[in-house]
Structure 1
């Protein structure tokens, strides 16, 4: 039989006596599955997190995979849904998916683990995740209800607070004015271009591009995203996000940072647009922490995350009247249904849309010309309710 990536023959040496044979076989299983996963071009971070979960589940069950039962999965799930740190349904479903894939791998005869376990322990691994003991994917969006797009008033409240923070530091003469200006502009850029956290932090100066339709914006009319969210097993997707006139205020801030503030840090040939005082690239972890502090200072709800600005961007573009296809291309969604999930238009927008529809349907009757009986737009004698 030809050995495939992850097969037992590639990670276990026949005829070797291990001091702790069950532990050695389990480590071989993890090594083999890691090879199989990496052969699918999955990232190291994805594979590492899955292996960590398998070790965690093994410790919880108190047994190795060839002794696992569906009851172990059910007990594990109960533990995840109990207590103050209750896991979200989407997270638990991801755990179940990892366990199911690992069991599929172990029970596949091509990888020889059933034979190895039978010969060594007199047991064979089985599938322990079934439709009756795992979380089903019932809805397209399972995010927390409190996470929503910010209203226009909330955005103004947040951005005013960002500007005040910079002014306070400058007037006090303390250090940190450049960092405050950078963080403020990063958050504004996140909203004005609808970027994800990683997309924002991975921007280089060279990614700032002109928009040929608006030469007055110079080299800040578009942003070239090179580290867009990758489809599993693929490379990061690229796209160009055009600045829209409703958010042209962000262009002045970008220009100020790139041409005036950033050079003060003397970044030399460092490519990153957002650099720290130590000339390193700003991390997503730092950005999350700073946003949490600034959000609290602005008096906004703690459930509103940085990603909510991306939801706000999609919602507001729709309210401005941009076609859904344009919005989908701007944010880099593969499917229009994903963009629809992000959209949550305001009551004011819905009221205006309804008023416009009422105006189209219940138009007042047009004037008639008695001499000719001609009408403008409607038939003579027709009554229309308003």
Structure 2
């Protein structure tokens, strides 16, 4: 080897990448982990067989104190380094013996419980992140509709993308979808529900790009269109909106020949940046809380269904959570709902006491 240290270090990273590919992890996950290891390597200014736990301490301390990264991000970085060290110290891959032969030393595990952050809670999301209140959600949707009318009335071209994004936001809320799930919807991903034929061809939304777990393929699920229940308005208004979008507005796009439900002006499918930019513009125009993001549509879906009395198990199945505890994290019931629930419980207790008193007389 002309540059043995550099070549061995590069070969280690290539081998680790292949190991992760064999585990069926997504390319984006693998690339993110590789970038984290490379970043640590640059900070340590040492080869993997020269790393020490103190170097990890200095690196994570710098990321937290100087760059102010969040705890979940720091833990992901540390986990990437820990996983890489586990690979190069595993006798099955022979890197320890190779380093001993070439450099007179061997790599060690540098990430331990005593120098990395541990995962102590089920949810470590930013506490500022929350669901929309019903009033905020209505204001957001009204504003999105007003922008379509304003741009169209001014004779400008942008009304088509504005209409698309307004429909996209409403669809994300009406079916409790994640951002990627919403973006990846195709025209064929809706179908009739034989038990609710009043919704026509939009009785079911088939989610094909759900959140994957531990190297598995995207998780599929079917989300039913929710109608009114016990006098409480449902989410079936989305049927009329989607019908108008697909039959009247979407065909005006140059890329309407593609399968995507949300075509872009320049490509077959809308991009994440377009979705994020439009959402932030509407939120900021209404001076809403910065803690509201695209995922707040999903939080709101769970919260509002629970408030309206839908069974928690049904809601869990709708959003595709494996555990009920995950759904409970999403539930941000309003103070009005809690007050109504408390009042109802107290009234039931008082009525039961009065009935018992009358019987005793």
Q: Secondary structure at the match of 1:240?
A: strand
Q: How does 1:262-273 map to 2 (within 5 A)?
A: 262-265=250-253, 267=255, 269-273=257-261
Which string of whole-angstrom CA distances, capped at 9 and with x for unpartnered residues, describes residues 180-220 of structure 1?
00001101111111001111011010111122233232112
Residue 115 (str. 1) matches residue 97 (str. 2): yes
Pair 1:364–1:227, CA change in 2 (3 A): closer
Q: How many residues align?
A: 355
Whether contact under 8 Å (2:255, 2:264) holds in the other structure is no
Which residue of 248, 263, 268 maps to 1:275?
A: 263
2-side partners of 1:334 and 1:251: how far apart? Answer: 28
Q: How does 1:295-314 map to 2 (within 5 A)?
A: 295-314=283-302
Which residue of 358, 369, 372 maps to 2:346?
A: 358
Q: Secondary structure at the match of 1:362?
A: helix
Q: How does 1:107-146 map to 2 (within 5 A)?
A: 107-146=89-128
2-side partners of 1:62 and 1:206: how far apart? Answer: 52
Which string of whole-angstrom CA distances, capped at 9 and with x for unpartnered residues, describes residues 232-266 of structure 1?
21111111111112112222111110111011225
Which residue of structure 1 lines up, in the alignment, with residue 230 of structure 2? Answer: none
2-side partners of 1:164 and 1:106: how far apart? Answer: 58
Q: Structure 1 length normalisation: TM-score?
A: 0.89
Whether contact under 8 Å (2:256, 2:263) holds in the other structure is no
Which residue of 35, 43, 47 maps to 2:26?
A: 43
Which residue of structure 1 lines up, in the alignment, with residue 312 of structure 2? Answer: 324
Whether contact under 8 Å (1:227, 1:237) holds in the other structure is yes
| Residue 319 of structure 1, CA deviation | 0.5
Give structure 1 stretches of 5+ with no counterpart.
1-17, 367-376
Pair 1:133–1:268, CA change in 2 (3 A): closer
Whether contact under 8 Å (1:270, 1:279) holds in the other structure is no
Which residue of 192, 197, 204 maps to 1:215?
A: 197
Q: How does 1:1-386 map to 2 (within 5 A)?
A: 18-83=1-66, 85-245=67-227, 246-265=234-253, 267=255, 269-363=257-351, 378=356, 380=358, 382=360
| Residue 221 of structure 1, CA deviation | 2.0
Q: Structure 2 length normalisation: TM-score?
A: 0.95
Which string of whole-angstrom CA distances, capped at 9 and with x for unpartnered residues, describes residues 124-172 of structure 1?
1011111110001111111111110110111111111101101101111
2-side partners of 1:253 and 1:381: how far apart? Answer: 56
2-side partners of 1:69 and 1:365: how far apart? Answer: 69
Query: Which stretch has the larger CA shift, 289-298 or 356-365?
Result: 356-365
Pair 1:380–1:156, CA change in 2 (3 A): closer
- Which has more helix, going by share of residues? 2
Give structure 2 stretches of 5+ with no counterpart.
228-233
| Residue 355 of structure 1, CA deviation | 1.0
Whether contact under 8 Å (2:178, 2:298) holds in the other structure is yes
RMSD of aligned Cα (Å) = 1.5
| Residue 365 of structure 1, CA deviation | 6.1
2-side partners of 1:100 and 1:382: how far apart? Answer: 70
